[in-house]
Amino acid sequence: MSLTLRTISREQHLAYIQSLPSASHMQVPAWADVKAEWRSESLGWFDERTGEMVGAGLVLYRQLPKIKRYLAYLPEGPVINWFSPNLEDWLQPMLAHLKHQGAFSVKMGPPVIIRRWNAETIKKGIQSPDVKRLRDMEADFIEPRAFEVADKLRRMGWQQGEDGGAGFGDVQPRYIFQVPLANRSLEEVHKQFNQLWRRNIKKAEKAGVEVVQGGYQDLEEWQRLYEITAVRDHFRPRPLSYFQRMWTALNTEDPNRMRLYFARHNGVNLSAATMLIVGGHVWYSYGASDNIGREVRPSNAMQWRMLRDAYALGATVYDLRGISDSLDETDHLFGLIQFKVGTGGQAAEYLGEWDFPLNKLLHKALDIYMSRR
């Protein structure tokens, strides 16, 4: 197949995304509005023979201080046929185009999963003194073609993060946790939850925890809970304006792209979460909770409701997003994987993010600048 690449309109881009079973929420045109501090461009790949669009990518450009050169970033993209035998025919025109646009370096995140580990396997790993990381265990599923993709990228001159792929040099999480929903009944999904999760869901029901959907006007209440969480978990919270922009941008593009949930008890909101929907892929994207009311298990109740809603939408996967690959109970991120494993889903490892230095000197300078921040 001979391919041509060109800039496309947002309408063309959105129509292409809507024709697919799913794509990352960071590759929809409206994500450019969420990331307002970056310049953006939609790219389309076309089959020269038929004129049909066969791939798309959202590129975000971040300008270097003081000079008109850019870092070009395709988060969890581009949306192309990654297993194509002629991958270079897809990526070479993209690099040439981005260089022409003033990019000195390109970063992308191929949406390709290499391995999956089932909840049972992870539980055994946690109990084993010899296992410290997910990678120390044999995976339940391996995608052999993913290794071919990595080999091709290396041969083309793409580079992986300095950490050798442990997942921390990436901007987007390399390890994620998903609950597969395709060809399963809700009863089967619920049965896969561990005892603690099932008990906590029941506990919340008994206590009268209500889970409700909120709207734009409730984002201030979301922010209150989110800032409590940031203090507790020692991270820098995004401002309210970010979530307001996210809501407006995503739901203008598609009225069912972003949802907001609250779990409340006796009229008091105890936890909240944002949910994103693209085709058959549903993400739990941000979560927040108060320091009070934990005994009534609001977070478990909320996740179960969100998962049921995802199922009702016809989703094939409920994605709980990032985890660390550490199975060491002393690791500060261990609680995260422990909570998510309770859903009976699977941990998955992506191919990670890759860089192509179009200007080696500027790319190196950026590396040094980023490492000092």
* Whole-angstrom distance, CA of residue 118 vs CA of residue 126: 13
Domains of the chain, by residue range, sit at 3-109+353-371, 113-350
Query: Which pLDDT score, from 0 to 100, does residue 170 have?
Result: 63
| Mean pLDDT calculated for residue range 100-118 | 97
pLDDT in tens, 359-369: 988 888 777 76
Domains 3-109+353-371 and 113-350 alike in fold: yes
Q: CB-based contacts of 207: which residues, under 8 Å, 6+ apart?
A: 265, 296, 297
Q: Does 353 have pLDDT greater than 80? A: yes
Q: Residue 102 region, left (φ>0) first, then alpha (ψ -120 to 50), else beta?
A: left
3-class DSSP state of 356? strand
CB distance 335 to 326 below 8 Å: no
> pLDDT tier at 279 (50, 70, 90 boundaries)?
very high
The fold of 113-350 is Aminopeptidase (3.40.630)
Q: CB-based contacts of 106: which residues, under 8 Å, 6+ apart?
A: 71, 72, 73, 74, 94, 95, 98, 355, 356, 358
Architecture of domain 3-109+353-371: 3-Layer(aba) Sandwich (3.40)
| Mean pLDDT calculated for residue range 233-255 | 97
Q: Does 350 have pLDDT greater than 50? A: yes
Go through the chain and tell me how many residues it has. 373
| Mean pLDDT calculated for residue range 147-156 | 98
pLDDT in tens, 196-208: 999 999 999 999 9
Query: Which pLDDT score, from 0 to 100, does residue 165 have?
Result: 40
pLDDT in tens, 280-311: 999 999 999 999 999 999 999 999 999 999 99
**Which position has the token pair 């310049």?**
39
| Mean pLDDT calculated for residue range 253-273 | 97
* Whole-angstrom distance, CA of residue 59 vs CA of residue 56: 10
* Whole-angstrom distance, CA of residue 138 vs CA of residue 87: 29
Q: What's the pTM value of the predicted model, to 2 decimals?
A: 0.94
CA 102 to chain centre: 27
